């Protein structure tokens, strides 16, 4: 493990180099028309280059929810980091940010030379906060901890309210250890879900701001000889507008990233999760924390940026065959599109592996559908976000970015309807000569110029688009097998991630999104000022 982490340069936001009834698609869909309107004049958000992020957690095998123990050996303390599928899945992103932390990070002690006590593991105990005793991170694995325990030194009252300042001594020993071991650190995050009312415990906004300032001073001192210093991030909790306002105003000079969590679907035991995922109005309601945080940051005048530090949709480990199945890509990709449109810089999915919401299967490490959704986003959707609006049916969600590696734009379309396919028209404002250009007009211009033989080859290549149609195997939303353009996506016998090849389509062909499907479409022949 040590050699692996050294090679890949781990950090807090780790850069790694290189049930219910069966829900199926209608067999005889109807067809409706709709139009995507895109303003190509300017951007409404700019994400990090490595916007996609995933989390790794502390939960031991004894972590059980609703009678199911879904974590297995996916903990930071026992995960097999030599698994070839895991390594290939990480390397396919090149790079992938990984946030190391979670609920139990606020009960972790770091084994250092300054603390000779025995290093014990987490033990299930219902009388303890979070249901487990304190656990210890052995020095042999210290390089992979970056979500810091923010409860050390505090007194926790019967109602969970904390008093006293953060004691940074144990965390300081860990930070110094990573520096002495030459581990590359991207950032340190203080605490987990202690903002507002908190989960299990809470810290006031003023005190938390003071603690973040202390962490920033510590980082600046320890890394004083480094040209590039780790980021300081926090609070890793749920957006409470009043609390976040006080916290950001108090800590903005010492805080580079404001991290918040998303579990807007409720508990994993909910039997109506799919109903929520397929409900456009419910999805729209998920915009509130993004909107609130964007407004708070704007009013504060700070340079601090917004990150989604942990998002699993349904808390308490998710729901088997929902949050690890095809249907969850509707929620996940909509979240990626929505959060980026509110200028979030990074979005960390809970989890890379573990629970019932992992991008990878906890036991086999084989990618779940959301892994491929994330990988396509990472490869196709560029940093610049374009204002996008879909008109025609509220069951279709639409987002557009400048393309990541080519000229033009990339469009994400999500069809939540079981019975209706959508034929999509495209209207792009400020495209080419500062005017609105429809897909039909683009096709017409293509036909008018095809007779010019010397341009024929170039036009043929330039007026094609790349389509990536994602559907569930056998049309079953609970399926853990995803199809790309009708073909099963699967790792091979060597554990290699398959190439995700597009379908090349002539611009004169209609743009159609099948029922219960997702479409990424890369359009190089539409160029806009915002993408220059």
C-alpha dihedral sign at 172, 178, 179, 184: negative
Least confident of 22-26, 316-320, 495-499: 22-26
Is the pLDDT assigned to residue 144 strictly greater than 50? no
pLDDT of residue 182: 77
Whether residue 155 is predicted with pLDDT greater than 90 in this model: the reply is yes
pLDDT surpasses 80 at 403: yes
For residue 114, how many other CB atoms are within 10 A of its CB?
Answer: 11
Helices and strands: H and E segment counts in the chain:
12, 26
* Contacts (Cβ under 8 Å, ≥6 apart) of 128: none
Question: Which position has the higher pLDDT, 532 or 432?
Answer: 532
pLDDT digits (tens, 9 = 90+) for 162-219: 999 999 998 998 899 888 877 777 889 999 999 999 999 999 999 999 999 999 999 9
pLDDT grade for 35, boundaries at 50, 70 and 90: very high
- Any residues with CB less than 8 A from the CB of 426 and at least 6 apart, and which? 35, 36, 38, 411, 438, 439, 511, 523, 526
**Residue among 395, 451, 455 at smallest CA distance from 419:** 395
Phi, psi for residue 399 in degrees, rounded to 5: -140, 145
Given a cut of 70, whether residue 444 has pLDDT beyond it is no
In the predicted model, what is the mean pLDDT of residues 334-350?
A: 97
In the prediction, which pLDDT does 107 show? 43
Most confident of 112-126, 197-211, 429-443: 197-211
Give the number of other CB atoms < 10 A from CB of residue 131: 16
Percent of the chain with pLDDT over 70: 81
Q: What is the mean pLDDT of residues 272-277?
A: 98
Give the per-residue SS3 of 435-498. EEEEHHHHHHHHHHHCCCHHHHHHHHHHCEEEEEEEEEHHHECCCCCEEECCEECCCCCCCCCC
Predicted confidence band at 438 (pLDDT cuts at 50, 70, 90)?
Answer: low
Q: 49, 134, 172, 310: which is the annotated catalytic residue?
A: 310
Q: Are β-strands 381-391 and 396-403 bridged in parallel, bridged antiparallel, or unpaired?
A: antiparallel
pLDDT value at residue 285: 97
- When pLDDT is cut at 50, 70 and 90, the band that residue 454 belongs to is very low
Calpha distance 262→206 (Å, rounded): 23
Looking at per-residue confidence, does 300 or 59 come out higher? 300
Q: What is the pLDDT of residue 470?
A: 98
Identify the DSSP state of 510.
-
pTM > 0.85: yes
Q: What is the C-alpha to C-alpha distance for residues 236 and 242, in angstroms, rounded to an integer?
A: 16
Q: Is the pLDDT of residue 447 over 80?
A: no
Query: Residue 96: what pLDDT?
Result: 85
Mean pLDDT of the chain: 86
**What's the pLDDT score for residue 485?**
98
- Pairing assessment for the beta strands 464-472 and 435-438 based on DSSP bridges: unpaired
Strand partners, 261: 310
pLDDT at 140: 39
The pLDDT score that the predictor gives to residue 13 is 37
pLDDT in tens, 456-513: 434 445 589 999 999 999 999 999 999 999 999 999 999 999 999 999 999 999 999 9
What is the CB neighbour count within 10 angstroms for residue 485? Answer: 14
The residues, ordered by sequence, that sit 6+ positions from 23 with a Cβ below 8 Å of its Cβ are: 274, 327, 418, 476, 477, 478
Structural fold of domain 47-383: TIM Barrel (3.20.20)
For the question of residue 440 being annotated catalytic, the response is no
Q: Is 193 a catalytic residue?
A: yes
Q: What percent of the chain is predicted at pLDDT more than 90?
A: 70
Beta strand pairing status for 305-311 and 346-349? parallel
Q: Where are the beta strands (DSSP E) in 356-463?
A: 381-391, 396-403, 409-415, 420-431, 435-438
Q: Name the more confident of 319 and 10.
A: 319
Yes or no: say if 388 and 338 are a contact pair by the CB < 8 Å rule: no
Q: According to the model, what pLDDT value does residue 20 have?
A: 41
pLDDT band at 440 (very low <50, low <70, confident <90, very high): low
- Given a cut of 70, is residue 120 above it in pLDDT? no
Out of 193, 429, 501, 509, the active site residue is 193
pLDDT score, position 437 = 58
Mean pLDDT in residue range 52-56: 92
Checking phi first, is residue 460 left (phi over 0); if not, alpha (psi -120 to 50) or beta?
Answer: alpha
pLDDT band at 29 (very low <50, low <70, confident <90, very high): confident
Residue 417 is predicted with a pLDDT of 98
Can you list the alpha helix ranges (DSSP code H) found in 279-327? 280-285, 288-300
Q: Helix, strand, coil proportions of the chain in percent (round to 5)?
A: 30, 30, 45
Q: In this structure, what are the phi and psi dihedrals at residue 321, rounded to the nearest 5 degrees? A: 65, 15
**Maximum mean pLDDT: which of 72-86, 116-130, 188-202, 443-457:** 188-202
Three-state secondary structure call for residue 7: helix
pLDDT of residue 156: 93
pLDDT (0 to 100) of residue 34? 98
* Domains in the chain: boundaries: 30-43+391-434+457-531, 47-383
Residue range 210-234: mean pLDDT, rounded: 95
pLDDT above 80 for 102: no
pLDDT at 126: 66
| Domain 30-43+391-434+457-531 = CATH 3.30.390.30 | no
């Amino acid at each position: 493990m040590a050699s692996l982490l050294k090679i890949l340069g781990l950090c807090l936001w780790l850069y790694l180099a290189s049930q219910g009834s069966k829900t199926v698609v209608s067999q005889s869909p109807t067809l409706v028309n709709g139009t995507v309107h895109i303003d190509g004049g300017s951007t409404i958000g700019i994400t990090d280059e490595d916007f996609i992020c995933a989390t790794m957690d502390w939960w031991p095998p004894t972590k059980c929810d609703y009678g199911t123990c879904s974590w297995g050996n996916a903990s930071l303390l026992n995960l097999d980091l030599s698994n070839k599928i895991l390594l290939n899945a990480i390397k396919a992103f090149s790079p992938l940010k990984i946030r190391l932390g979670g609920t139990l990070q606020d009960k972790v002690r770091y084994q250092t030379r300054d603390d000779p006590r025995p290093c014990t593991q987490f033990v299930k105990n219902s009388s303890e906060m979070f249901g487990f005793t304190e656990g210890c991170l052995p020095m042999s694995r210290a390089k992979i901890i970056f979500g810091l325990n923010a409860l050390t030194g505090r007194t926790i009252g019967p109602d969970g309210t904390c008093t006293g300042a953060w004691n940074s001594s144990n965390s300081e020993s860990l930070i110094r250890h990573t520096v002495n071991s030459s581990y590359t650190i991207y950032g340190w995050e203080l605490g987990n879900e202690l903002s507002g009312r908190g989960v299990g415990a809470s810290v006031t906004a003023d005190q938390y701001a003071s603690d973040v300032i202390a962490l920033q001073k510590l980082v600046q001192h320890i890394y004083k000889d480094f040209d590039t210093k780790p980021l300081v991030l926090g609070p890793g909790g749920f957006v409470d507008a009043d609390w976040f306002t006080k916290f950001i105003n108090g800590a903005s000079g010492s805080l580079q990233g404001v991290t918040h969590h998303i579990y807007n679907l409720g508990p994993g035991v909910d039997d109506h999760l799919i109903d929520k995922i397929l409900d456009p109005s419910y999805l729209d309601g998920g915009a509130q924390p993004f909107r609130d945080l964007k407004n708070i940051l704007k009013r504060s005048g700070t340079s601090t940026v917004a990150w989604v530090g942990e998002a699993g949709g349904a808390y308490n480990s998710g729901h088997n065959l929902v949050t690890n199945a095809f249907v969850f890509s509707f929620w996940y990709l909509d979240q990626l599109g929505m959060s980026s449109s509110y200028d979030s810089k990074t979005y960390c999915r809970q989890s890379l592996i573990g629970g019932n919401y992992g991008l990878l299967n906890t036991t086999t490490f084989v990618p779940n559908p959301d892994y491929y959704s994330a990988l396509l986003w990472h490869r196709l959707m560029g940093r610049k976000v374009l204002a996008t609006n879909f008109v025609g049916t509220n069951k279709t969600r639409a987002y557009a970015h400048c393309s990541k590696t080519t000229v033009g734009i990339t469009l994400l379309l999500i069809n939540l309807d079981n019975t209706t396919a959508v034929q999509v028209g495209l209207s792009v404002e400020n495209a080419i000569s500062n005017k609105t250009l429809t897909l039909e007009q683009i096709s017409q211009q293509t036909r008018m110029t095809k007779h010019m033989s010397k341009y024929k080859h170039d036009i043929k290549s330039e007026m094609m688009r790349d389509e990536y149609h994602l559907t569930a195997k056998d049309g079953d939303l609970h399926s853990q097998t995803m199809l790309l353009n009708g073909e099963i996506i699967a790792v091979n016998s060597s554990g290699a991630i398959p190439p995700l090849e597009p379908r090349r389509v002539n611009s004169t062909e209609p743009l159609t999104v099948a029922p219960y499907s997702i479409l990424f479409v890369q359009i190089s022949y539409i160029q806009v000022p915002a993408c220059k």
